[in-house]
Structure 1
Amino acid sequence: MVRWGLRGKMAASYVLVTATAVLLVEAVIAAFYLLPLAGATDLAAVLRDQASGDTKVLNLELARLSTAEPGRTPRELLDEVADVTKGRTVAGGARPRHESGLAMLAAIVDTAGVVVASSAPPIYPPGGTLDVPLPGREAGSRVTSTRTGPTTWHFSPVLIKAPDDATGFDVIGYVYVQGPTDAVPTPAVWPMIAPGLLVVGLVVPVGLVFGLLSTRRLTSRVRRLADATTAVAAGDFGRRIPVTGADEVSTLEQSVNVMADRLGVAVEAARAGAHAEARQAERGRIARELHDSISQDLFSLSLLAAGMRRAAPDAVSEQAESMERTAFRAMREMQALLLELRPVALEDAGLLPALEELCHAYEERLGIRVEAVLEEVALPPPAEHAVLRLVQEALGNAVKHADPGTIEVRLGARDGAVTVSVSDDGAGFDPADVAARHGMGLKLMRERVTELGGHLDVRSDAGGTTVTARLP
């Protein structure tokens, strides 16, 4: 659809534009040649215009001659003016005029119909007479049969100013123009149209081939764009389009690549958020089950041990007291574990309020003094989560393994890095033997910090333990 539909439409547009240009040129040429001829299709009008033009020339010359040489007869003036204007008018003896294929004949005659000058002496010789009636003082046109056959003719009077004692003008002759009635001017249209039609016939296949070839690269790029957007819609955000050229399509190619990148990041973030929410929900479920079952059982065991210690003999009382202490330690570790599993609303509150809430919960529920020295720091969301989980894990380890009286949590920024530390005054441990004694806790903390490009340091002795993380 995209391949042939787009290419076909673009190729058709090439052909249409080219053919339209050729036809427009043909129309301009036809108008240039045919419009002037359109006014000549009325034969009587053509003859009238020619006779009027010749008469104007003769009248001007007659006025000049009559003024320069007064006393000459009208016939003498008419003969002289016919001779003077010879070659300047058709009626004065010029060659027959051809008007769009029409052989136009003209003559100058006197008031008796005698020919003074003629453009066709073999037909109307000077001294001969016309075979058509004279019109009088007014111009006139008629269609009759003459010696040349069916003819349309027109008379235009030649005038001279009347003598001094009279007013107006006298007619001293006529300009006679004729043309064959069946020779109505017909423009030769086909010779002008044929080349244009030939050009159009050549343009169609050439334009089609040119359009298909010239649009091949463009349609290929558009097809790649369509395939890429289809892949993105199907969830394949790794598809990329090579950006070629510097036109509008290249801008679209680059935009599609950027869109795919952003959609991929957004989807990954959504998936990570969904996984995080799932983990938080699972941690909450485990915490509820531990609280509802094991914590209650440990509390019951502690009560039973206390009752046995008070009611039993001294030999049994010592063992009951040991059982009571063990149950108390187990309950304390269980509370620390529940606090470690407890979800903290980091997204809603921010890092500092989340850390303060966490420290307050350990201090309130476990009776351990927790000092929080926290500063505002700029960290991306993944690093904030890592800091929160690191503090939570360190607090839990201190409560479960060190039995501290005081824990100090510090957060600050210096030397281009963010530093977070958790220190306790409880029983230390040998860091070399951490795997055997503390399982996966410290290892997971170290991996979490390393993934963010940071460094984790653990120092412990008989005076306590300090866990410090530096993040970029």
Structure 2
Amino acid sequence: MWRFGLRGRMAASYVLVTATAVLLVEAVIVGLVLIPQANASDLASVLQEQAASDTKVLSLEAARLAAADPGLSAGELLAQATAESGGRTIVGGARPPEPGYAMLEMLVGSDGEIVASSAPGIYPPGGTLDVPLPHRERGGASRTRAGPATWHFSPVIMRSADGFATLGHVYVQAPDDAAPAGLRPEALLSLIVPGVLVLALVVPVGLVFGLLSTRRLTSRVRRLAGVTTAVAAGDFRPRVAVSGADEVSTLEHSFNVMTDRLGAAVEAARLTARTEARQAERGRIARELHDSISQDLFSLSLLAAGMSRAAPEELRGQAEAMERAAARAMREMRALLLELRPVALEDAGLLPALEELCHAYETRLGIKVEAVLAEVALVPLAEHAVLRLVQEALGNAVKHANPATIEVRLSARDDVITVAVSDDGAGFDPEDVSARHGMGLALMRERVTELAGRLDVRSGAAGTTVTATFSTSAVALIPPTLIPPAPIPPAPIPPAPVVRPR
């Protein structure tokens, strides 16, 4: 059905248009030929008009000849006028009869003798008419030697010194049963048959032309339908080849754009599902750590504090070392819980999210965190990377450097965005970081590389500075499928550990 549906209907439309054009041309021909002849179907009026027209011509020619040679007789004037008129009159023998009528015309002298005839076989010159010259009635109908006929006389008049003189008459007759040739069955048939033949020829031509001209269009539509089926089945890789510059090519281009966006939306939905799963897992781990290990570490720190006060002098140093180790472990555990805690970025924006993060580290861990943040315009991909970069840098500083102050800076200059996290804690050798088991710097470097930027780490005795720079124009060129989805709402910050009674 599909194979012949659209193509067959379009080919049928070509045939219909072709047939309609032929029929319209045929109707125009009938209108131009038959209607004027039907309007002239009054035989008497036609004969009168024809006789008057030829009489006028002959009268003018006779007047001109008489002026040139006054000695010519009436018969000589008529004969010469007929010869001089040439093809301007039927009686001259050169002009064809009126179309649609079997018309005869004679020039008759005032004595009734035929001077000239359009039908010499029936009315020879020198003979006489079988219709009397008119006295009052110039037209009528009677039986003639040519059969029943309608006839009309028109006088040939010339001005003379004595007034007007009648040189003769123009006699015109036609059979009583004469009808316009265009209205006769044979005439109608002669008009209809060619139209039918043309129609019989052009219909197959229109059919072939319609099938050939729609072949490429229907094949393009079939390709588009095939790709649409693949996309509907979940495969967003196929694309339609855009060809030409017509409406179908616009549809092909729009379909490709729609498929790209739909694929990106599906991929974003998958990323959202995976991210929500990871965030849920991070929250679960944070709760488990708080409910188990954090409580035990706090209990251990209290026991170590009690032991350091009650232990003998020789054991007091070991008890104090245990207390310090427990406090350090609790500090790192709190930093880990903060690192696992998701931060709401979409609802609050980048700057409020960074301020909340810095405030959480300051209040929960007792470290002074200074935030110098400038308002910048970033795409969601860059905002997400900056937030995670600062979160990772803060966590590394707390766990490894034991700083008293941390400074977080976010600035923009022209097209370059700079993020810097500095601490005054214990430094390390950046060249020897590969020997460590931590993944903090590697993760930060991966995030910055995704933004087509650069990560710079400087560390020494005065502290560590982690600086990331990237270009906003380069970030704008990153495919949208890499843009992370909106994070889930943040989990509540775990409260401070409470000693459970033993």
TM, length-normalised to structure 1: 0.77
* C-alpha displacement of 1:18: 4.1
The equivalent residue for 2:149 is 151
Change (3 A) 1:313 1:289: closer
* C-alpha displacement of 1:453: 3.9
- The residue identity in structure 1 corresponding to 2:6 is L
Alpha-carbon separation, structure 1, partners of 2:462 and 2:113: 153
The equivalent residue for 1:4 is 4
- The residue identity in structure 1 corresponding to 2:149 is T
The equivalent residue for 1:409 is 408
- Give the counterpart of 1:177 among 166, 172, 195: 172
The equivalent residue for 1:56 is 56
- The residue identity in structure 2 corresponding to 1:184 is A
The equivalent residue for 1:140 is 139
RMSD: 4.4
Contact 2:65 2:81 in 1 (8 A): no
* C-alpha displacement of 1:236: 3.3
Alpha-carbon separation, structure 1, partners of 2:362 and 2:122: 139
* C-alpha displacement of 1:186: 1.6
Contact 1:153 1:177 in 2 (8 A): yes
The equivalent residue for 2:79 is 83
Alpha-carbon separation, structure 1, partners of 2:161 and 2:18: 70
Alpha-carbon separation, structure 2, partners of 1:248 and 1:302: 77
The equivalent residue for 2:210 is 211
- The residue identity in structure 1 corresponding to 2:175 is P
Change (3 A) 1:297 1:66: same
- The residue identity in structure 2 corresponding to 1:56 is K
Residues 24-63 of structure 1: pairs in structure 2 closer than 5 A: 24-27=24-27, 33-34=33-34, 37-60=37-60
- The residue identity in structure 2 corresponding to 1:150 is P
Range that drifts further, 253-262 or 330-339: 253-262
Contact 1:149 1:180 in 2 (8 A): yes
**3-state secondary structure, aligned to 1:237:** coil
Residues 221-370 of structure 1: pairs in structure 2 closer than 5 A: 221-288=220-287, 290-291=289-290, 294-296=293-295, 298-299=297-298, 325=324, 327-370=326-369
Alpha-carbon separation, structure 2, partners of 1:411 and 1:354: 13
Identity over aligned residues, as a percent? 71
Alpha-carbon separation, structure 2, partners of 1:316 and 1:55: 161
* C-alpha displacement of 1:417: 5.9
Change (3 A) 1:179 1:340: same
**3-state secondary structure, aligned to 1:153:** strand
Change (3 A) 1:113 1:418: closer
Range that drifts further, 424-433 or 148-157: 424-433
The equivalent residue for 2:197 is 198
Change (3 A) 1:404 1:129: closer
Q: Provide the aligned length of Structure 1 versus Structure 2.
A: 463
**3-state secondary structure, aligned to 1:176:** strand
Range that drifts further, 241-250 or 410-419: 410-419
**3-state secondary structure, aligned to 1:207:** helix
- The residue identity in structure 2 corresponding to 1:334 is M
- The residue identity in structure 2 corresponding to 1:84 is Q
Contact 1:93 1:107 in 2 (8 A): no
* C-alpha displacement of 1:184: 2.4
TM, length-normalised to structure 2: 0.73
Change (3 A) 1:264 1:120: closer
Q: Deviations over 1:395-419 (max 9, x none)?
A: 2233234433223334456898655
